Structure 1
């Protein structure tokens, strides 16, 4: 898997984990699934940053995101 795709997938998992964690806390349940999503997304982000030579800058993130979405849609 390409580092850019891993980064976007990790960001997606992290974003999806937040409502799951908040919902579990509101219902006074343990946030198991949300935590797994957060750890998986964080792991993918870390793996992608370490896989890409030179890493990513904050200014690169929109270009990476739109590039991956463009690859998926084409």
Structure 2
């Protein structure tokens, strides 16, 4: 898995798990699965940041996501 793919998957998982965390907290439930998903997303993002020379900037993240989607579709 290349760092760009790991970063894209991590970003998508993190964004999709935030509503699950908010829903669980508002219903006074423990957000167990959502927190494990966020931990996995954070791990993927950290792995991508450590394996890409120079890292990523915020301005190149949207382009990265589009390039990864285009590469695999």
Segment of structure 1 superposing worse, 51-60 or 5-14: 51-60
CA positional deviation for 1:54: 0.8
After TM superposition, what 4+ stretches of structure 1 lie above 2 angstroms from structure 2? none
How large is the Cα RMSD of the aligned pairs?
A: 0.8
Show the counterpart of 1:44: 44
Output one character per residue of 1:4-43: Cα deviation in whole Å (capped at 9) or x when no partner.
Answer: 0000000011011111101111211101011011111011
CA positional deviation for 1:60: 1.4
Show the counterpart of 1:6: 6
Unpaired segments ≥5 residues, structure 1? none
- Say if 1:16 and 1:37, in contact at 8 Å, map to a contact too: no
Q: Distance in 2 between matches of 1:57 and 1:18?
A: 22
User: Structure 2 matches for 1:1-74, cutoff 5 A?
Assistant: 1-73=1-73
Unpaired segments ≥5 residues, structure 2? none
TM-score w.r.t. the length of structure 2 is 0.93
Q: How many residues align?
A: 73
